[in-house]
Each structure stands twice: as C-alpha cells, then as structure tokens.
Amino acid sequence: MSYYTGTAADLAGLRQALFDACTTDGWTLTGEILSKGTMFLRVQIVSGYLTFLGGTGQSAGALTGAAAAVSRIGTLNSQAVAFPVKYEIFSFSSEVYLVINYNVSYYQWAAFGKSTVQGLPGTGMWFGASCFSNPPNILAITQAGGTSSGYCVPALFHRNRNNANTGAASLESRIHHGLDGLTWSDGVSVSNPGASAIDATTPLLGLLPNTWNSEAVLLPIRVFYPRASNKTSLLADLEHARYTRVDNYTPGDLITLGGDRWKVFPWYLKNSAARDGGGNITHTGTFGWAVRYEGP
C-alpha cells in the first residue's frame, strides 16, 4: 500500500495528485483515463466538479463500456469546495481511496477498485464519489440508507436496494457485475437496479458505538445486488474500507486493530447533536468510515 498526502490549490491540482499517485503504483494514464488490468476510469473536470466514470476499455482516447452516469466531487448542499484542500490518497493493488478535507471540518471522497468476488461475469470494477451527477446535490443520509432520488447520499454504496433504482443520475456508487444480461449496476429501474452494501449492515450500525467502552466496530462493506425471486448476490467485499460511526472519534483518528491501522473520517460533516442524519440536511450525523492506513 502507498499513502500520499498534500494540498491542492484547485481541482486541476487535485486531479494531478491522483494521477501521480496512481501512475506511481502501476496504473497507466492515457489522456484522462486511468487503467489497470480490466479497470478503466475517466477523471475529468466539468463545470466545477471532479467527475469519475468507470468503463470496460478505451479506444482512441475515449472510454468504452462506460457506466450510465458519473460520480463527482464538488458543490454539495449549495456549498462549494473551498480551496486549498488537504488530500489523502490510500492506494492499494486493486483499490484506491481519495479523501479531501476543507473548511476545517468538511470532507468529500472518491473511491474505485476491483471486486475480489470470484465468478462475476463482469469485470468487477466499482467506483463512487460523494455526489451523484444530478444537481443540485441536496444531502440526505440515514441508518437504513433510504431516501428519494432527489437527495444525494454521500457515502459509498450506502443507498439501500429500494432506493437504488431511481435513475442512473441519482446514484453515487456502482459496479460492473455482468449478471442477468446487464453490465453496470446503474439503478435505472427495478429491472436494472443499483447495488447496496447498507442493507446487510443497517442493524449493526444502529448498535454503534457500544455501551461498554464507547468504541465503534469497523463493519465490512459488502456490496449486494438484488436478483429474481427475492434473492441477492454478493458483488464485492471491499478489502481496505469499513463502515463505522464516528461519535467518539475525531476525524483523522487512527484505530489500531492487531497489526492493522485504520483512519477514520465522517462521510461529509460530523454532527453529534443529530447523529442519525435525515433528509435535506447539511451534515452526515455520525455516519462515517475507516480506510486502512499504512502511512508514517
């Protein structure tokens, strides 16, 4: 694993930092497209947003087999990203996590990688970021991941299955699975739904932090996909990121578990007074995540 941190004066500088980190760690950059094996990710600056779009290949500098919509870093809840930003990049062989911090307490993120689940017909590439592609990116988050298509849920695969089929432009995270004759989990409709990791995790998130020592367990991010006859299939089990609650953590705290260290972040803005979030809000309560940390 490689860890990179620094400051970026604008979106161009932030994108370049990501490009530099990825190419140092084995990715190939062709124009605006990062590639590694069967993973292809286009990273563009469009209308004041840093956009991310996964694909299955490239031809003459253009992304092919692309997902139906981008995920983005940028204005959220009518509040623009304030530069300069601090960035942290956590780069692993098959997963990359980008976290930015600005205005003291605000965070956004982007992540992409390849599933380790065996037998997927698709490439297994997944990607996501804080904002979906459909403005104005009004924020919502709940323990169960339920919200309408008009609200952005700025957390990785945190939109539940019942609310992950409201249109590709209203989806923050997706994966190329290849099941049932489909490609990406684009959330276009019930026949082409989105994928979710929050459904299986909801009861456990509600128990955190524990009452014994006030610590919060790190929960696996396992991405499931709805199938016919009310069945589900496991699409991804992320190796280097976990769900958690940040009630008793300061953003950036390190948690040591055995030989591993994990760095804790809120999804957007921590608010202990309204820890369970809601709809049309300006924060993400105490919902957060942890990324495996192998820095100094």
pLDDT digits (tens, 9 = 90+) for 174-200: 999 999 999 999 988 778 889 999 988
At 73 the pLDDT is 98
Sequence ranges of the domains in the chain: 2-293
Distance CA 249, CA 231 (A): 37
Residue 97 contacts residue 89 (beta carbons within 8 Å): yes
Residue 116 DSSP label: -
Q: Which pLDDT belongs to residue 166?
A: 67
What does the pLDDT read at residue 144? 86
The reported pTM is 0.96
Which among 65, 57, 1 is positioned nearest to 30, based on CA atoms?
57
Nearest in space to 109 (alpha carbons), one of 69, 181, 158: 158
- Residues in the chain, pLDDT under 50: none
Per-residue model confidence (pLDDT) at position 214: 87
Tell me the C-alpha distance between 229 and 237, whole Å: 23
* 135 contacts 151 by C-beta, under 8 angstroms: no
